[in-house]
Amino acid sequence: MTADTLLIGAGDLGTEIGLRLAAAGRCVVAVRRRAALVPAPLVGVAGDVSDGLPDLPAFDGAGDGPRLLVICLTAGGRSEERYRATFLDGVDAVLRDVAARGWAPERALFVSSTGAMGHAQNGDAWVDETSSDAADTPTGRVLAEAEQNFLGGLPVGTRGIVVRPSGLYGPGREWFIDQVRAGNLADPDRMTNRIHRDDAAAAVVHLLTMSAEADGLYLLTDDAPAPAREVATFLARELGVDTEPFTAHEGAARPSATRRLSNARLRGTGFTLTYPTFREGYASILAGEGERHP
């Protein structure tokens, strides 16, 4: 079977995207630094995107290129320098090579983050893809620039899609659970937004393969933004630990972040979440379902 999909970046989320594309009948070539970590049936190829694309097998799209292109990179750190090297230099190098090879994928998707959005909203504001607030952190500004470079650097005829997942959680991502076990939760009144890794991956596959044309930008987030205190109290009860650290002085402080992210545009495409709220998602994690990809 000739490959038809190129996945750049096969960490936890990228691998899950690739596996779901393969399950949908796609033949996926996945590029990451350590190709041995790429699971079958994905075809792993070693490469560092800062050097451009490595040697790749022929695909069955235009110019022997892929029909679908997915860029799902991990910076490996939170510094502005790492973000620039990964999301600006890395993405630009990939797009230059795509152009040099004469490829024109049917659809190309870049995984960004809600960090590319600003936090200027006050009160219980709902925020969607039309928000005009500029990113207000150095790494957020890098992501916003990378999004524009991606959409502007695609070949003529390629439909570009940018997705912004909110807080990713899922198998092996247990930092918040550990905080609850320890009875330690910073800023419990802050509003939190999240999406389970599996739903984020499923949404990417849906947007790449649905028959309708995709819009340019989608927020990937679940149905239920919630104060950190509410999520922690739920987890404490599920874990059988003391809820008092999270229920004491409830509502006494003004939340430091109150924006609620809307998934209405994603929902409008017909996509259905497996974990519509943190309750279903964390229950699955606590039950030991799923695994984190290396």
Assigned domain for 205 exists: yes
Assigned domain for 120 exists: yes
Assigned domain for 61 exists: yes
Alpha helices in the chain (DSSP H): 12-23, 80-83, 91-100, 138-152, 175-181, 197-209, 228-239, 244-247, 264-267, 278-286
Assigned domain for 279 exists: no
CATH number at residue 92: 3.40.50.720
Assigned domain for 190 exists: no
Task: Name the residue with tokens 């890395």.
Answer: 90
b/e code 184-221 from CB counts within 10 Å (16+ = b): ebeebbebbbbbbbbbbbbbbbbbbeeeeebeebbbbb
**Phi, psi torsion values for 260, nearest 5 degrees:** -115, 125
The pLDDT, as a whole number, for residue 185 is 85
Q: What is the pLDDT along the chain (294 residues), one digit of tens a residue?
A: 799 999 999 999 999 999 999 999 999 999 999 999 999 999 999 999 988 999 999 999 888 999 999 999 999 888 999 999 999 999 999 999 999 999 999 999 999 999 999 876 555 788 999 987 788 899 999 999 999 999 999 999 999 999 999 999 999 999 999 999 999 888 888 899 999 999 999 999 999 999 999 989 999 999 999 999 999 999 999 999 998 888 765 554 444 556 899 999 999 999 999 999 999 999 999 999 999 999
Closest CA to 18 of 71, 62, 57: 71
Show the domain range for 46: 5-172+195-222+262-273
Assigned domain for 253 exists: no
The pLDDT, as a whole number, for residue 255 is 47
Q: How far is the C-alpha of 120 from the C-alpha of 156, rounded, in Å?
A: 35
Assigned domain for 237 exists: no
Q: How far is the C-alpha of 111 from the C-alpha of 200, rounded, in Å?
A: 10
Assigned domain for 231 exists: no
Task: Report how many domains make up the chain.
Answer: 1
